[in-house]
Amino acid sequence: MTQGEETECREKPRLMAEYENSTARFLEAVQELHRKMGTSPKEVYERLDRAANEARLRSEYARLSLEEHIATDRC
């Protein structure tokens, strides 16, 4: 989108929703990890830790995608 265009960007809302959803999943993964900390076998903790880290990475990727789109599209 260039300056002066009145066209509505459809990609930005999609990317924002993706970021919001991935951030919510990250929060849920961290909360689950915290609930199980100290009460679960090491294997369970490690699985939950990996899941939380993967969710963090997906959230970070979604944020970067949104930021890149905003910078490129100027919307």
Q: What is the C-alpha separation between 66 and 12, in angstroms, rounded? A: 7
The contacts of residue 45 (CB under 8 Å, 6+ apart) are 33, 36, 37
Q: What is the C-alpha separation between 67 and 9, in angstroms, rounded? A: 14
CB 8 within 8 A of CB 75: no
pLDDT in tens, 27-43: 999 999 999 999 999 99
**Looking up tokens 């993706």, which residue turns up?**
18
- Sorted by where each begins, the domain ranges of the chain are 11-73
State the pTM of this model: 0.82
Q: Per the structure block, which two tokens stand in for 28?
A: 């849920």
pLDDT in tens, 1-58: 455 455 689 999 999 999 999 999 999 999 999 999 999 999 999 999 999 999 999 9
